[in-house]
Structure 1
Amino acid sequence: MSVLIVIPARYASSRYPGKPLVELTGANGDKRTLIERSWRAACAVQGVDRVVVATDDDRIQTAARGFGAEVVMTSQSCANGTERCAEAHAALGGGYEVVVNLQGDAPLTPHWFIEDLVAGLRAAPDMGLATPVLQCDGETLNSLLADRAAGRVGGTTAVFGRDHSGLYFSKEVIPFCAEHFEGAAPTPVYHHVGVYAYRPDALADYPSWPVGPLEQLEGLEQLRFLENNRKILCVQVEARGREFWELNNPEDVARIEAMMVKMGNN
């Protein structure tokens, strides 16, 4: 099963303009841009046939080609990463059996998250797409709650049914928990990892659907699938002792750098 990883990256982010070119300092003091670190994470995944950066910005194109990435230029009309992935896949001539969307703000994504994701989609032929979910421990849950209390839009959470098909995704922390958790204690909240694996037909259909009210309210691209009655397989992944966080706000830079130092990630 041929696999393409697309890393969609745009410069004009409303919450954090220029985010893909923000430099992050690793454990040995090396500074690399967010988009390079995301590309390196993609290149570490086993069983992948091709990795490309998809962008509409010349600055990102120049930076990506500078560190050796293949770049596909896409239009400025792409509303989100899924639309950019669909355009990039078409520009490459299609033909891949699985297209992975590794968003350019997730440099800490372990390779096994994506490997498990692709395996999960392969094992579910009735699903058009899949996405990873990671059970929150007390520390992560409290970080999500702290973001919301401070008025910051932090990580996304997910709820799913017994068959692991997604019921809803939200930038709020769901489900509501009256119980307080600390440290490494497991919680009933699942952190949605911003990666998607699509079958080509599901990906090709996506841009033709109008933006629905839930996608517009939450600003979450995957809700367009649910609003069009398409199932999303939630694949539970394991941290294996690794910390995971996405770069959503400027305040996340120091947190991610601290995690890289702790993990020895250069």
Structure 2
Amino acid sequence: MTVLIAIPARYASIRYPGKPLVSLKGPDGEKTLIRRSWEAAMAVRGADRVVVATDDDRIRDHAAGFGAEVVMTSSDCQNGTERCAEVAQKLPGFDIVVNLQGDAPLTPAWFVEDLVAGLRADPGADIATPVLRCDGRALNGFLADRRAGRVGGTTAVFGTGGRGLYFSKEVIPYTGRTYADDEETPVFHHVGVYAYRPAALAEYPRWPVGPLERLEGLEQLRFLENGRQVLCVEVEARGRQFWELNNPEDVPRIEAMMAQMGG
């Protein structure tokens, strides 16, 4: 099965304008968010092609400057999945299309590799996405973000066979207790990566935005609202920390994680 990785990146983010071009300091120097995300994608084994998908000339020029292949997409795309659907239309013939979002530079290569393997092994799934069990430290970070009114990580609940039931920016399920930093919790962090079958991805832009997607601002809910099977693939951290860059406040947090990991 051939695999295309698309990295959607837009400049006009409502919460964080210009986010793809924000610089992040690491042990390997200072690099932009989009470059670090591209480097993460290039480390994935089994990917046949990696492209940056954008509608912005500044991002295009910058990405081309460090060697990335760029596909220009419409400014009408409302989210990364719609942008990936346009890329898949322009670059047909792949069996799996991966959406490695441009705000997740800490995504380990094995997250994507496990995700692709999970979709290959489950012919009934239309889309697959990774989930990472939270320890107490991660869960407490989520709760602190919510108390401060910040949008932090997304959580996921799923049933038999890993079938996704719901995704939320609130912390679900409700636990009613606190956990030690190194304690295992029943809460799963949804990692913002997706692997799609092209047929399901092609349908996505034709569906109207449903009430749940509108309320939560989570693109994957459109698949659930239209009866598509979303496979949640549990992945292992292997000692790595993971966080997405959602707000300006996340920059020092991610830089600290990179320093700790040495990359």
TM over 0.5: yes
Structure 2 unmatched ranges of 5 or more: none
Structure 1: which amino acid aligns with 2:42? Answer: C
Calculate the TM-score normalised by the size of structure 2.
0.99
* Aligned positions, number: 263
Where do 1:55-94 residues align within 5 Å?
55-92=54-91, 94=92
CA contact (8 A) 1:27 1:262 kept: no
1:145 CA displacement: 0.4
Where do 1:81-230 residues align within 5 Å?
81-92=80-91, 94-230=92-228
Deviations 1:104-136 (A, max 9, x none): 000000000000000000000011110000000
Structure 2: which amino acid aligns with 1:51? Answer: V
3-state SS of 2:165 partner? strand
Specify the alignment match of 2:9 in structure 1: 9
1:146 CA displacement: 0.4
1:235 CA displacement: 0.1
CA contact (8 A) 1:133 1:190 kept: yes
3-state SS of 1:13 partner? coil
1:38 CA displacement: 0.2
Specify the alignment match of 1:246 in structure 2: 244
Q: Take 2:253 and 2:142, find their aligned partners in 1: how far apart are those partners? A: 13
Structure 2: which amino acid aligns with 1:201? Answer: A
Q: Take 1:235 and 1:136, find their aligned partners in 2: how far apart are those partners? A: 14
CA contact (8 A) 1:106 1:246 kept: yes
Q: Take 1:71 and 1:46, find their aligned partners in 2: how far apart are those partners? A: 20
3-state SS of 2:161 partner? coil
Specify the alignment match of 1:54 in structure 2: 53
Calculate the TM-score normalised by the size of structure 1.
0.98
Q: Take 1:34 and 1:216, find their aligned partners in 2: how far apart are those partners? A: 27
Structure 1 unmatched ranges of 5 or more: none
Structure 2: which amino acid aligns with 1:175? Answer: P
CA contact (8 A) 1:102 1:194 kept: yes
Deviating runs (4+, > 6 A) in structure 1? none
Deviations 1:130-167 (A, max 9, x none): 00000000000000000000000111000000211000
Specify the alignment match of 1:23 in structure 2: 23
Q: Take 1:24 and 1:209, find their aligned partners in 2: how far apart are those partners? A: 36
Q: Take 1:136 and 1:162, find their aligned partners in 2: how far apart are those partners? A: 20
Q: Take 1:125 and 1:74, find their aligned partners in 2: how far apart are those partners? A: 29
Structure 2: which amino acid aligns with 1:252? Answer: D
Identity of aligned residues (%): 73
